[in-house]
Amino acid sequence: MNWEQLLSLRRFGDTHKRLRKEQDETRLGFEVDYDRIIFSSAFRSLQDKTQVIPLSKTDFVHTRLTHSLEVSVVGRSLGRSAGKEIISRYPHLNQVHGYQFNDFGAIVAAAALAHDIGNPPFGHSGEKAIGEFFQAGPGVAYKKDLSEKEYQDLVDFEGNANGFKILTESRKGVEGGLRLSYATLGAFLKYPKESLPKKPTTHIADKKYACFQASTEFFREVADELGLLSREHPGSFSRHPLTFLVEAADDICYTIIDFEDGINLGLIPEDYALEYLIKLVKDRIDTKKYHRLAHMEDRLSYLRALAISTLIQDATRVFMEHETEIIKGTFSTALLEKSKYKAQVEDILSLSAERVYRSQEVIEKEIAGYRIISDILEAYSGALVRTKKGNATNYDKLILTTLPERFRDTSGSLYTLLLQCSCYVASLSDSSAVHIHNKITGKQL
């Protein structure tokens, strides 16, 4: 791969090449990407989607929206830091083509801002609930009428693939979705492959997938434009190098900030927690400043900022040390796996898993989320399929009037209908899902 091609400013529908040196410096194409994402309705819905604690009523807890904004800020710093060194290593990028180190920050910031845009309500349990509806619930009846890959898309419903669909899907009058630059779309693709084969290797890019069958044509167009390398399995490509920075920004934020949420919620004792953070930043902490902080939230804020800064610097170091392997597509792990702070990060994640992710509040609300999503999917998918077959009941006709118009179309294939239904459910906020469930089950009149 080469950086000039990887930094493509091309957008869906372009008939000519966009040159960096011809860009308006007051509003760069990569910055336009950020703006388009932040003003989209899909991004706004993240304000009421779970990050860790579903349906939490406390001000302390992060939503997908605040998490995405924080990941974007960290990603911008990572991109700028790495970009400065890349420009130094490949001076022609600046001297010939006009790229600046801030371009790298803008691409990573935009991709990081969108990284959770396709996630369903109720956190990762929402993805599992959609998948299990088709694998072990009423949706299993559709298996016989779907191809193997189509069925895999549904039973292994993936927020990353849904995100790519949201960012790129054409609708009547809206060609190419948000029409982001291909560089930003490439950086967004954490797992640039189709749903099958599932986890064919231990390479980090094979952990999940990033493309539904409905999106494969444009997915391949983006990969070809960026020069992403084809891998051994059909429909599978090497990662865009900046994807490693997007992933690192996400890893840094959920490691430190989910931990912070656990402390603020009282799930992790303050003294115990601060000790873990101090181990991470012990080489950089100003002990005099720290001991002058009288309040827990101030001590926590100081350690959090220092921890994030420490991990940003180290992730940049790892990225540049392995940049040659990354460009060749042979680097196969997340950047934090090579961090000199790996042990400290794993200790924090282990404590978060024990005290936060498996807390009774999280488990109880995830159980409720499974039931809510399954019931909504059963009602809407059943109504859509029966309408397509011409045997819709009066209830089906009534319930379909509550679907947004663009999700009511039954003229496409069964796969298209079921995927669109699943994507509708995934688009719901936590509160909207509860509200719709209450209405379809007669709990709210």
| Number of domains, the chain | 2
Q: What's the pLDDT score for residue 265? A: 80
DSSP assignment of 239-271 equals PPTTHHHHHHHHHHHHHHHHHHHHHHTTSS-HH
Fill in the amino acid letter for 117.
I
Q: Whole-structure pTM over 0.85, yes or no?
A: yes
Is residue 365 in some structural domain? yes
- Within-domain flag for 227: no
Same domain membership, residue 353 and residue 259: yes
**Mind listing the pLDDT tens digit for each residue in 125-169?**
889 999 999 999 999 999 999 999 999 999 999 999 999 999 999
Query: Do 440 and 373 share a structural domain?
Result: yes
pLDDT tens readout for residues 189-246: 999 999 999 999 999 999 999 999 999 999 999 999 999 999 998 899 999 999 999 9
For residues 218 and 176, what is the distance between their CA atoms, to the nearest angstrom? 9
pLDDT of residue 164: 98
Q: How confident is the model at residue 60 (pLDDT cuts 50, 70, 90)?
A: low
- What is the reported pLDDT for 209? 98
The verdict on residue 245 lying in a domain is no
348 plus 405 within the same structural domain: no
State phi, psi for 26 to the nearest 5 degrees.
-80, -15
CB atoms near residue 59 (< 10 Å): 6
CA distance 203 to 212: 20
172 half-sphere exposure, CB direction, 13 A CA radius: 4
What does the alpha-carbon distance between residue 353 and residue 401 come to, in Å, rounded to a whole number? 42
Same domain, 256 and 314: yes
Note whether 111 and 188 are within 8 A (CB).
yes
Q: Which of 298, 326, 358 is the last residue of a domain?
A: 358
Helices (H), 204-341: 216-226, 243-264, 270-281, 287-292, 296-321, 323-328
Residues spanned by the domain of 320: 251-358
Residue of higher predicted confidence among 237 and 295: 237
What is residue 266's predicted lDDT score, i.e. its pLDDT? 84
Which of 307, 340, 358 is a domain's end point?
358
4 in a domain, yes or no? no
Sequence-ordered list of residues with C-beta below 8 angstroms from that of 101, at least 6 positions apart, any chain: 80, 83, 84, 86, 87
Query: In this structure, is residue 34 part of a structural domain?
Result: no
Shared domain check, 330 and 348: yes
pLDDT of residue 59: 57
Average pLDDT of 270-274?
81
Instruction: Please say whether the dihedral angle defined by the alpha carbons of residues 124, 126, 129 and 131, taken in this order, is positive or negative.
Output: negative
Mean pLDDT (the chain, rounded): 93
CATH number for 383: 1.10.3550.10
354 and 255 in a common domain: yes
Residue 381, pLDDT above cutoff 80: yes
Q: Are residues 405 and 348 in the same domain?
A: no
Beta bridge partners of 63: 50
- The pLDDT value given to residue 107: 98
* CATH code, 327: 1.10.3410.10
% residues pLDDT > 70 (the chain): 97
